[in-house]
Every structure is written in structure tokens, then in C-alpha cells.
Amino acid sequence: MKQKRLSTLGILLVFLLAMVIAACGPAVPEGMEDEYEAIMAGEDAHGEDSHDEDSHGAEADSHAGDADAAHEAAATGDLSAIPPISERMPHELADSDYTESDTGLLYYDLVKGTGDSPEDGYIVEVFYAIWVLDEATGEAVVVDDTFAFGQPFSFIVGGQQVFDGWDEGVLGMQVGGSRQLVIPPSLAFGEEGVPNVGIPPNATLVMEVELLDVQAPPVPAALSDSDYEETDTGVKIAVLAEGDGEDEVEAGDRVTVEFAIWVAEGERFFTSSDSAGQPLTYPVGSGAVFPGWDEGTLGMVVGEKRQLFIPSELGLGAQGYGELVPPDSDLLLEVELVDLVKVRKATELDEDDYEVTDSGLKYYDLVEGDGEMPEEGQIVVVHYTGWLEDGTQFDSSLERGVPFEFPVGTGAVISGWDEGVATMKVGGIRQLVIPADLGYGDTGAGSTIPPGATLIFEVELLELK
């Protein structure tokens, strides 16, 4: 299945999948919620807006306004205020047209399919639309519509990636078929709802689902114990395919992988990037995936594929994952390295190399510029990379390929930046060592910059405006 863009609710559902693969929490590490929101809003680690206002501002404002309106409407129960995302409406059916399951799910086959039927553990690809049924008026309000967006969605049946009524509703369908579902709150989002996408508490949902494709769950490569090499921690590694890349994965590198995971005992399929419809990108060693996965990818090159046997304590541990992964389960993971972005390392300098200002800022010119020096309030254009003292990279405009602009000396950035860039010349590259009181102080920034952190930046002054 090809990589796809996802609708609003689709992103929410895939984010639930991301939570599965984390060591002891979500793929966005615990405490990063503020930073995650900043990224979604287009902000840099400085707290600065990185959107191109001319090309994206109006569109972003429109989407933000729709999201805010949907959230407020769902929270208050006034569904009439939710902005419509499409004109699609559910088919008008009589109660007698539906078949009711033992759980209270109602379903009706709009089109009978002729292809394969999914079973528990199968990967399905669907188009869908979701409406909230307004109990007061009887009207249906659309909250998501992949038909309109042309964006199919994939998930594992019974994989706890979608709500129960959806899981149950696709069973018995055949490829090519379409089915309308009426899903009670107990089989959907229950008493909490999902206000940020327009689903209020105790909402009855109506869905139309078209089954596009069905795939049997993947099976891991059959290997013997002699095929593996075991690390000191107990992770076993077997190379299934050699890669052709030059650089090897190290801690801190940003990798993009295709993967599939099974419970080792019985080789029960758990989840995969294919079922999510897209590969996974994460920084190695950041806690984005469980420890055995992190360890097992070290040393890989692009194009390489490995099978990992991961003992439970380096996987999902005593917690497991619902009925799919019992507590203390060993895991099998097959991982293919699709892309690798090497972490940048700060230039190593002796303490005597630095100039120290009265404020405590330390700086060293790696490259002396030969252009003009900025005046207070002037817009500067820079590329930069930032690290913690332990070498952990937390931000880089170079990786995004987009320079950063700000008015120097106006408080638009942390004070260590204002002071450190003010005396640079165009063309120069300077390393800044910024104490916490000139950076993010005792609060830090998300989970990537802890309280009291000293920061290291290398900044290149590209131009003045």
C-alpha cells in the first residue's frame, strides 16, 4: 500500500498506533505535548512561527478557525455550529433495513462486494465518512470524509487501532462492498468523545465504509537460532537483506523505517508501518520506540533489513498492550531502513578558545564573516543547529532546509541568541554556549530541553534584510 496523506481523524487514529510502539509511553515522549502542539502550529524550538505567512497564513488561519469552531461546538453540544467538511450525507434508511448485532451495532450493505473478506488480524484499506447523529434534531453532521479528500485509510482489524464499532463493522464485508453503520457511544468514543474533531460526549456515529483492499497479516521470515547474533542485553539480530548505504545508524540519527511486529510466541501479528499507510520517522535513542528496537537498528545502513528478537524487558514489558500483546511477551520485529539523516555534532573546542561576555555567554567564531554586522531591530537570516551539553541535537534549520529569520535585539528569541548574533558579520559561523539564564531558564522547553539546561548552538549568518 502506498504512502498516503491522512484526514484529521485518520491522523488521530495513527497517533494512537504511534503510542503503541513507545517504550513506556507515546512516540512523542511524555512531556512533549507542548512541543508537539508547537510543531503542529509551525513553531521552531525558539517559539518562533516558521510559516511563510504570505503563502500559508490565510489557509492556516482558516483551518485553525474551523478546528476551534468544531471543538467549541462539540464541547457545548451545539452540532449545528460545526463547519461542514463535505456535502456527503448518509443514506436514508429505515430502522428495519438494518441488521443489529449482539453488541448493538446496526449495519446495512449498500453494495455487496465480490472480493475477499477480512478476518481478525488482517490489514484493510478503506474509504470512510463519519457523521455525528444529533439526537435533538435527528440530523447527521459530517466530521470526517476520506471520500471527499481521496485519502484511503488502513488499519488492522482487531488491532485496537480504531474504535470497536468500526472494527466489528468491517467483518463480513467483501472487497468492493460498501456498508453503512450506526454505532452507539459504547462502541465509539463513549462518555468522553473527541471534541477537537467535533465528536461530543455520548455521540452516536453513522459511518459509510467502502472496503478497497484486504491483506492477510505478514509472516516473519523463518530463521534458526544460528542465524542471529545476540547483544549483551539479549537482543538477537539477523540480517535479512544487505543495504547499499554508506553511513551507519548511530544514536541521535533520524531514521525512516518500514517495520512489522509480532508477538514471538505463536508469531501473532501486532502492527506494522504498512497498516498505518506510511513509514515511521524518529530520532534513534530518543525514547520514541522501545529500547530493543533502538538497539537493534544501530549499525544499519540504508536498504538493510533486519529481524530482531526483543526480550520483553526491552519491548513492552510487564504492561504489554491490551489483548494483543500479553504482559512479559517477547517480540519479533522486522525493520528496513529507508532513509537516514545523520546527526550533526558540535565542533569540539577547548575552554580557552571561547570569548566570555559579562552576561556569561561564551562564543567562538568558527568562520570569521566578512560582511556587515546587523543593527538592532534588523532582520537577520541564519542557519543553525542546537545541542544539549551531552551532545543531543534538539533542533536544526539545516535539516529542514529552511533558514530562520528574526529581528535581532528585540527579544524575539532567547537572550543568548540576541547577544550572540548581534556582533556577527554576514558569512560568519559562530558557536554559542548559552547558560540557562540566557536560554530557557528553570522551565526548559518541552521534554527536549530540560530545566536549567546549558545550550550549544552553531549559527551561520547568511544575510541581513
Contacts within 8 Å (CB) and 24+ apart, 111-114: 111/176, 111/177, 111/178, 111/210, 112/174, 112/177, 113/173, 113/174, 113/175, 113/176, 113/177, 113/178, 113/211, 114/174, 114/175, 114/176, 114/177
Cα torsion 458, 462, 464, 465 to 10°: value is -120
Hey, what domains does the chain have and what are their CATH numbers? Answer: 8-16+73-215 (3.10.50.40), 229-341 (3.10.50.40), 355-464 (3.10.50.40)
Question: How many CA atoms within 13 Å lie on the side-chain side of 350?
Answer: 2
* Cβ-based neighbours of 198, under 8 Å, separated by 6 or more: 70, 71, 73, 74, 79, 82, 132, 141, 143
d(CA 260, CA 346): 35
Among the listed residues 189, 384, 404, 406, the single catalytic one is 384
d(CA 380, CA 240): 49
| 384 catalytically annotated | yes
pLDDT tens for each residue of the chain, 465 residues long: 333 334 445 544 544 445 454 433 323 333 333 433 332 233 344 434 333 333 333 333 433 444 455 445 444 445 444 455 678 999 999 999 999 999 999 999 999 999 999 999 899 999 999 999 887 787 889 999 999 888 899 999 998 889 999 999 999 999 999 999 999 999 999 999 888 778 899 999 999 999 999 999 999 999 999 999 999 999 999 999 999 999 999 988 889 999 999 999 999 898 899 877 789 998 898 788 999 999 999 999 999 999 999 999 999 999 998 888 999 999 999 999 999 988 888 999 999 999 999 999 999 999 999 999 999 999 999 999 999 998 888 888 988 889 999 999 999 999 999 999 999 999 999 999 999 999 999 999 877 899 999 999 999 999 999
- 8 A C-beta contact, residue 367 and residue 357: no
- 8 A C-beta contact, residue 153 and residue 10: yes
Among the listed residues 394, 404, 418, 456, the single catalytic one is 394
Among the listed residues 21, 123, 183, 414, the single catalytic one is 414
**Counts of helices then strands in the chain (DSSP H, E):** 9, 21
Distances (CA, A) of 196 to 127, 178, 201, 404: 22, 28, 12, 31
Q: What is the DSSP letter of 222?
A: P
Among the listed residues 128, 440, 449, 456, the single catalytic one is 440
| 269 catalytically annotated | no
β-strand partners of 305: 241, 336
Q: What is the pLDDT of residues 362-409, one digit of tens each?
A: 999 999 999 999 999 999 999 999 999 988 888 889 888 899 999 999
| Residue written as grid cell 534549520 | 397
Among the listed residues 44, 167, 274, 395, the single catalytic one is 395
| 394 catalytically annotated | yes
| 457 catalytically annotated | yes
This prediction's pTM: 0.60
3 state SS of 131:
strand
d(CA 182, CA 206): 5
